[in-house]
Chain A
């Protein structure tokens, strides 16, 4: 079973701060990396699916980078807002199938 680690476990920032967190995964047999945002009382929502080494994706103030050779991805949030408060999950596929292995997430709290 893949070992997927996310750090930090939780993060408290002030509104307007920029922040980033890390997802580490085995670098061998890489297929893809998913990022999801999960707000309290809502469904997890897909942010990005990244597939290429060096890939960078952006959605509004959120961006992500991917390094498949060393097995990590960074998620950045520029100018955090209270509505960014959520748990951010990363998940590589288990194998060549569609099954994902989720990290335990980074819980972000943005204080107004």
Chain B
């Protein structure tokens, strides 16, 4: 069964801490994504990577960075966590097929609380 695995289901961090959220997929997908989900809002794209070491900003990249050193792993980094980054974070991956839009496969999410 194909999987996207997020390293933590729940995290509690302090304001100002550097936080790493890890995501690993075993499907050899080229594309990987980080979203956050807040009540009343849809999933909002933070960053997208279409290949190793390649990244694009999404709608809300401020306060975040990403790292993709290997195809299967995509890390989201909160440089200095703030309370407004308390949220559910979802990682996803998809194939890259020119002209098509394959579906995302999602991880189960990390609920981050910044205190």
Chain A residues engaging chain B, CB cutoff 8 angstroms? 1, 4, 31-32, 34, 36, 41-46, 49, 51, 89, 91, 93-94, 97-105
Contact = CB atoms under 8 A, between A and B. Distances in A.
Interface stretch (B12-20, B36-44, B62-70, B78-86): B36-44
A101 B44 CA distance: 7
Contact of A98 (B4, B40, B48, B105): B48
A93 B4 CA distance: 21
Interface of B: 4, 31, 33, 35, 40-45, 48, 50, 56, 58-59, 90, 92, 94, 96, 100-109
Contacts, number: 67
Contacts of B59: 1
Nearest to B32: A98
Contacts of A4: 42
Contacts of B96: 98
Given A31-B101, A98-B101, A104 B40 contact: yes
A65 B100 CA distance: 19
Given A98-B96, A99-B48, A34 B43 contact: no
